[in-house]
Amino acid sequence: MRARILALTAALAIPLAAAHAQFYEYALDDGSGNFTIGPSQFDANMTWLNAFNADPAGQIISSVRVSFGDIADNDGNLGPDHITVAVLDDPNDDADPADAVLLTTGTGQWVDLASNQFIDIPVPPTMVSGGFFVAVEMDVIQRANPARMDPQDLTLGMNSWMFYNPESRLHDLGGSKFILRMGDSPFVGAWMIRADARACLADISEPQGLLDVFDVFVFLDLFNAGSASADVTNDGTLDIFDVFALLDAFNAGCP
């Protein structure tokens, strides 16, 4: 299959000249978080997320950026430092993640940084449209407070949510043991969770922002591995139409 697709790319005369892609950042916070939150009386798998609406300038999510509090309890005992980030679809665009559909995840490790600095965690390039969610999940010990919040604009709490569970539940957040929209809580504000995105579908390989033939090679590797991130047509099936769509985007160049 790869040989046939490579022959196809040659036949379509893919240009080798580089083009530059523009980047877009989704954010609710203004960069200055004022307090942090976590489970006060029990250990929990904690998920916190923001709801966004996709912009044509940034329909391909490439990384999630998070500003943290800490993972130590009041006595200084450290909890787990493994981080999972996720991008989820909002199927009815109502900013309520009860029926959110998991699109992709990325993993990383918590790092103790100064307040309001962000950890950048890559995810497979993922197309979003309409409403979507960007989430952070980690196991948290009681009295630790990893989730940093910006309360400057109180209306933003309507697009920020928190969930507690015994274990990961990204595939069914609506069935969580504890669900709280921050706009309805005593802690009104927006989570410091951001997403970096781009408009150019074909900009897949590193360095991001530079479109060249290596983007095609990376796509072919993802396609042949059966990766969902190669589903360019976003129809749940990997087929030749995904290849055509990628090549069309490549030849059109980046905005």
The verdict on 110 and 179 lying in the same domain is yes
Domain extent, residue 37, equals 23-197
Based on the fold, state whether residues 124 and 226 are members of the same structural domain.
no
Positive/negative CA dihedral, 42, 136, 218, 226: positive
Whether residues 193 and 217 fall in one domain: no
Q: Please give the pLDDT value at position 177.
A: 94
193/247 same-domain check: no
Integer CA distances (angstroms), 101 to 16, 94, 139, 151, 174, in order: 37, 13, 21, 28, 10
* pLDDT computed for residue 228 by the predictor: 67
| 193, 67: one domain | yes
| pLDDT of amino acid 10 | 43
What pLDDT, on a 0 to 100 scale, did the predictor assign at position 166? 96
In this prediction, the residues of the chain whose per-residue pLDDT falls under 50 are 1-20
Considering only CA atoms, which of 164, 132, 129, 123 is closest in space to residue 146?
Answer: 164
CA distance 140 to 84: 12
Number of domains in the chain: 2
Residue 129: what pLDDT?
87
Nearest-angstrom CA–CA distance, 223 and 227: 6
Q: Which of 197, 221, 240 is a domain's end point?
A: 197
Determine the Cα–Cα distance for residues 111 and 218; give it in Å rounded to an integer. Answer: 29
Examine the fold and report which residue of 197, 212, 227 is the final residue of a domain before the chain moves on: 197
Asked whether residue 176 falls in the same domain as residue 53, the answer is yes
CB of 50 within 8 A of CB of 190? yes
Residues 239 and 171 in one domain: no
CATH code where residue 45 lies: 2.60.120
**pLDDT at residue number 92:** 93
What does the pLDDT look like over 65-116, one tens digit per residue? 999 999 999 999 999 999 999 999 999 999 999 999 999 999 999 998 888 8
Run of H or E residues at 218? helix 213-224
Tally DSSP H helices, then E strands, for the chain.
Answer: 3, 15
The pLDDT assigned to 2 comes to 47
**Domain identity same for 12 and 42:** no
pLDDT value of position 37: 94
**How many alpha carbons fall within 13 Å on the CB side of residue 158?**
5
- Tokens encoding 13: 């005369």
Instruction: Indicate if 112 and 141 belong to the same structural domain.
Output: yes
> Which of the listed residues 197, 217, 234 is the one where a domain comes to its end?
197
